[in-house]
Structure 1
């Protein structure tokens, strides 16, 4: 029986890349986008959550990324 690791790997990578303030923050406190800012806000968390859900849905359901382990 093989296990589909595609959703797990894609979710983990997106979670790391879309963590607010790690690579970028959208919206930032003083600008629209801030890069490398470690601070965050509630609005930024909401925007990054919506981006995470949208990109994950496109990659897993629409494109259908599957990684099977034996």
Structure 2
């Protein structure tokens, strides 16, 4: 699996997946604003925004977001 740090697309056998887009889609599916998610997972709004825009791929932050949104880490293609 290869991370393209400029847009956080992950190369997989099934094509390319936008991690930031998956985070945003999961957040919106829960009805959370960035601020709601920030309060729930303990990250700043700026950190969440950077992840959704594809400028941050920190696995620990993504795990915290997955836990807050009650989704599997595999939603964001983490192990």
- TM range, normalised to the smaller chain? under 0.3
More helix by share: 2
* Structure having the higher Rg: 1
Normalization by structure 1: what TM-score?
0.28
Q: Normalising by the residue count of structure 2, what TM-score does the alignment of the two structures yield?
A: 0.26
